[in-house]
């Protein structure tokens, strides 16, 4: 297995529920290290660009509107197999279908308000980390 990096976002619903720390514990307890982080309130333009891959999907407008409804906690995570590991910790997109013990099963209410984002592959991870963090704000190898 390789050491990878992935982008994670704690979405407005989970930030509002005050569970940033609980979600960070899931990362830390499973070998994922926070190597960059910031709390931000995304503009419609920023959220729209971040989710541009979903532009043609029927839920795009709702997604952008939800992601700009409050502050989000954005972090780059590093660790063994980080991309798949984070997806595993997150659980399925629809919290009703997410395995027990996953972040979405434990903290999310609906497919719209589903607590977390995680990169889905090496290419998207690279692009997504670069979208939010310049190289000088990423601190690896601590």
Residues 78-97 interacting with ligand IDP (rule: CB under 6 A): 93
Least distance to Mg ion, CB of residue 135, Å: 24
- For the chain, where are the alpha helices, taking DSSP H only? 12-16, 20-29, 44-50, 60-67, 82-90, 103-107, 122-132
Residue of 46, 88, 109, 120 that binds ligand IDP (CB under 6 A):
120
- β-bridge partners, 21: none
Which residue is catalytic, options 117, 118, 119, 129? 117
Token pair for 65: 């509107």
Position 59 contacts ligand IDP (CB under 6 A): yes
Report how far residue 134's alpha carbon sits from residue 66's, in angstroms, rounded to the nearest whole number.
25
CA-closest candidate to residue 132, choices 73, 89, 81, 88: 73
Which residues fall in the annotated binding site for ATP?
11, 59, 87, 93, 104, 114
Give the count of residues interacting with ligand IDP (CB under 6 A): 9
Assess whether 117 carries a catalytic annotation.
yes
Residues that bind Mg ion (CB under 5 A): 120
């Amino acid at each position: 297995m390789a050491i990878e990096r992935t982008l994670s976002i704690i979405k407005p619903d989970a930030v509002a529920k005050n569970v940033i720390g609980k979600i960070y514990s899931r990362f830390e307890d499973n070998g994922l290290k926070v190597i960059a982080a910031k709390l931000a309130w995304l503009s419609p333009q920023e959220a729209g660009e971040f989710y541009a891959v979903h532009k043609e999907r029927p839920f795009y407008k709702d997604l952008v509107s939800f992601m700009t409804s409050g502050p989000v906690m954005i972090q780059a995570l590093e660790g063994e197999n980080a991309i798949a590991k984070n997806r595993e910790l997150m659980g399925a997109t629809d919290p009703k279908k997410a395995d027990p013990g996953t972040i979405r099963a434990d903290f999310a209410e609906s497919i719209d308000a589903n607590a977390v984002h995680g990169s889905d592959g090496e290419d998207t991870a690279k692009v997504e980390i670069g979208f939010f963090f310049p190289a000088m704000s990423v601190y690896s190898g601590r």
